[in-house]
C-alpha cells in the first residue's frame, strides 16, 4: 500500500533509508529525520555517541537528542540504538529521564544493542587530557570520550552493554580497566578515578537500562522480514568520517552510508535509498580545514541567534556552500536524494557565493584533496548568485519560494550531482517543502 508521507506525497515502494550528513555535521539531520519518520516503522542510530546533538522543534517545544533516535518523538515507532554506537549509560539515563519529563513515552519503543560499546569516565578524562596535550593542534572534540571509547573497541579492551548488565563480569572487568587507565591518567598528571564511585554509578545506570537491552540485529532482521520501513539515522557528517573525513580532525566512527550497515547489521542490498542532508551554506564545529569559512557570514548568522552547537553550545564556524565537498559526499555515500536545510539563513544576503573548485597556487582541484595541509591552503573559487532578500519561512510549496531561491537550490543540487527532494525553510515540521 502506498503510504502518505505528507499531503500529496506518496511513497509506493518499500524504502529502507539511510540518512547522512553531507557536510561537517549539524546539517539539520534531526529535523529531516523527524519528517521522514512519518513513513518509517523503525528508526536506528548506527554510529557515534552523545557527541551528537539533534535538534527537533515540534509545536513550540524544542527537543535535543544525543543518543536516542529522533523517532522517539512520534507515536508507535520502534527506536534502536545499534551496535555501532558508543553509549554513555549515565548520559543515556539522563536523556531518557529528560524526555519522559517532557511527556515523551519511552516504554517498549526503545531498544539498546547488547553489543554497543560503553563509554566510561576514563574515556572522557583521556579525551580531555589528549586535547590539552595537543595544545594548538587540538581536534576540538566534544570531550564526551568518543575517540578513546572507539579506540578501546578497536584495541579489544572495550566493554559492551552485555558486559555492563552482567554484575559479576562488570565488576571484574571494570576493576582492571580502571587500574590500567589510572596509570595513563597519572602519566598525564591527572587525578585517578575511584573504582567505587564509577562502579556504583554504572551499576545504577545498568539496572535502569537493562529492560531496553536487546539483540538488535535479530530484532532488525525480524522487522525486515515483516516488511517494515527502516530509517537509519546518521550522526555527524561526511567530512567527520574516520576514513573519508579531514583526518585527524574527524570523529571516530564511519559517519558515511557504509557505517549504517556495519552499525546495524542490516546488509547493503537491503538498503533502498540514501538521503543526504546539507545546509544551504556550510558550518563546522571544532578545528580542522574549512575552505569556504567566512567571517562575515558567521557574524550574520550568529547575530540572528543561529549556529550555536546543540551539544557544547560552541558558536559554529560558518562559510559559503562548498559544492566540491558536497559532490564528494554524494560520491562516497551514493546520495540519491538531497534535503537542503536552513535556506532561511540566507534570506537577507545580497550576493550568495558557492565554491565550485579549490585553488592551491597554480593547481586547481575539483575534488577534496586528502592531504589536509593542502586542503588548509586551498582557496575557494566562487560562483555568485543573487540573493532573494525576502523571508522564505512561510513557503510551504516549491512555487511559493522566490524564483532566485529556487534557482540557487537547483544550482547547488546540480553541482552536488543529486536530486533535490526536500527543502527546509525553518525548524518546524510544517516548514518543509517536498519536490
Footprint (CB under 6 A) of ligand IMP, residues 57-86: none
Instruction: Work out how close the CB of 171 gets to Mg ion at its nearest, in angstroms, rounded to a whole number.
Output: 35
Residues 169-228 within binding reach of Mg ion (CB under 5 A): none
Contact between 286 and ligand IMP per CB under 6 A? yes
Q: How many other C-beta atoms are found inside a 10 Å radius of the C-beta of residue 387?
A: 17
Does residue 60 come out as left (phi exceeding 0), alpha (psi in the -120 to 50 range) or beta? Answer: left
54 a catalytic residue: yes
Residues 6+ apart with CB under 8 A from 274: 17, 18, 19, 20, 257, 333, 334, 335, 336, 337
Compose the 342-361 pattern: x for residues touching Mg ion by CB under 5 A, - for all others: --------------------
Contacts of 426 (CB under 8 A, 6+ apart): 344, 393
Which residues have CB under 8 Å from 394's CB, separation 6+?
400, 425
Q: Whole-angstrom Cα distance, residue 68 to residue 258?
A: 21
Taking CB under 6 A as the criterion, the residue among 28, 53, 84, 276 binding ligand IMP is 53
- SS3 at position 237: coil
Residue 91 contacts ligand IMP per CB under 6 A: no
Give the nearer residue to Mg ion in terms of CB position, either 233 or 337.
233
What number of chain residues touch ligand IMP (CB under 6 A)?
A: 19
Please give the residues from 331 up to 390 whose contact with ligand IMP meets the rule CB under 6 A: none
Residue in 43, 44, 185, 235 binding ligand IMP, rule: CB under 6 A: 235
Nine cell digits for residue 388: 532573494
Which residues in the 6-65 window bind Mg ion by CB under 5 A? Answer: 26, 53
Rounded Cα gap, residues 106 and 299, in angstroms: 40
Q: Which stretch binds ligand IMP (CB under 6 A): 32-40, 46-54, 290-298, 406-414?
A: 46-54
Stretch that binds ligand IMP, among 49-57, 199-207, 215-223, 381-389 (CB under 6 A): 49-57
| 241 is an active site residue | no
125 is a site residue for ligand IMP (CB under 6 A): no
Calculate the alpha carbon distances from 358 to 65, 364, 378, 384 in Å.
35, 6, 6, 15
Scanning 110-118, 139-147, 168-176, 397-405 for contacts with ligand IMP by CB under 6 A, the matching segment is: 139-147
Rounded to the nearest 5°, which phi and psi values hold at 36? -70, -25
Residue numbers at the binding site for Mg ion (CB under 5 A) = 26, 53, 310
Residue numbers at the binding site for ligand IMP (CB under 6 A) = 25-26, 51-53, 139-142, 144, 146-147, 235-236, 240, 251-252, 285-286
Amino acid at each position: 500500500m502506498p503510504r502518505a508521507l505528507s499531503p500529496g506525497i506518496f511513497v509506493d515502494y518499500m524504502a529502507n533509508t539511510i540518512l547522512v550528513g553531507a557536510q561537517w555535521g549539524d546539517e539539520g539531520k534531526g529535523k529531516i529525520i523527524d519528517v521522514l519518520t512519518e513513513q518509517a516503522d523503525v528508526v536506528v542510530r548506527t554510529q557515534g555517541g552523545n557527541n551528537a546533538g539533534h535538534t527537533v522543534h515540534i509545536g513550540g517545544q524544542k527537543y535535543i537528542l544525543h543518543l536516542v533516535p529522533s523517532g522517539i518523538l512520534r507515536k508507535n515507532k520502534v527506536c534502536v540504538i545499534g551496535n555501532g554506537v558508543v553509549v554513555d549509560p549515565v548520559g543515556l539515563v539522563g536523556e531518557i529521564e529528560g524526555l519522559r519529563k517532557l511527556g515523551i513515552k519511552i516504554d517498549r519503543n526503545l531498544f539498546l544493542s547488547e553489543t554497543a560499546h560503553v563509554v566510561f569516565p576514563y574515556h572522557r578524562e583521556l579525551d580531555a587530557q589528549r586535547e590539552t596535550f595537543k595544545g594548538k593542534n587540538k581536534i576540538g572534540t566534544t570531550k564526551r570520550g568518543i575517540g578513546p571509547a572507539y579506540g578501546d573497541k578497536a584495541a579489544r579492551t572495550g566493554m559492551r552493554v552485555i558486559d555492563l548488565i552482567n554484575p559479576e563480569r562488570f565488576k571484574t572487568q571494570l576493576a582492571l580497566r580502571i587500574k590500567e587507565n589510572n596509570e595513563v591518567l597519572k602519566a598525564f598528571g591527572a587525578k585517578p578515578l575511584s573504582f567505587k564511585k564509577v562502579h556504583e554509578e554504572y551499576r545504577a545506570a545498568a539496572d535502569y537500562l537493562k529492560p531496553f537491552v536487546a539483540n538488535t540485529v535479530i530484532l532488525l532482521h525480524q522487522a525486515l522480514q515483516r516488511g517494515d520501513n527502516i530509517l537509519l539515522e546518521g550522526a555527524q557528517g561526511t567530512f567527520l568520517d574516520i576514513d573519508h573525513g579531514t583526518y585527524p580532525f574527524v570523529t571516530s566512527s564511519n559517519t558515511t552510508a557504509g557505517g549504517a550497515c556495519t552499525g546495524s547489521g542490516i546488509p547493503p542490498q537491503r538498503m533502498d535509498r540514501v538521503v543526504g542532508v546539507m545546509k544551504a551554506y556550510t558550518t563546522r564545529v571544532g578545528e580542522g580545514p574549512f575552505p569556504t569559512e567566512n567571517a562575515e557570514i558567521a557574524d550574520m548568522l550568529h547575530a540572528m541567534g543561529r549556529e550555536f552547537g546543540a551539544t557544547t553550545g560552541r558558536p559554529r564556524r560558518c562559510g559559503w556552500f562548498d559544492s566540491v565537498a558536497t559532490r564528494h559526499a554524494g560520491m562516497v555515500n551514493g546520495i540519491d536524494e538531497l534535503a537542503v536545510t536552513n535556506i532561511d539563513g540566507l534570506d537577507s544576503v545580497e550576493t550568495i557565493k558557492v565554491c565550485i573548485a579549490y585553488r592551491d597556487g597554480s593547481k586547481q582541484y575539483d575534488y577534496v584533496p586528502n592531504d589536509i595541509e593542502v586542503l588548509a591552503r586551498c582557496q575557494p573559487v566562487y560562483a555568485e548568485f543573487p540573493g532573494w532578500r525576502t523571508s522564505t519561512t512561510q513557503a510551504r510549496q516549491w512555487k511559493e519560494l522566490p524564483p532566485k531561491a529556487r534557482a540557487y537550490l537547483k544550482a547547488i543540487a546540480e553541482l552536488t550531482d543529486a536530486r533535490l527532494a526536500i527543502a527546509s525553510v525553518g525548524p518546524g515540521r510544517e516548514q518543509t517543502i517536498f519536490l
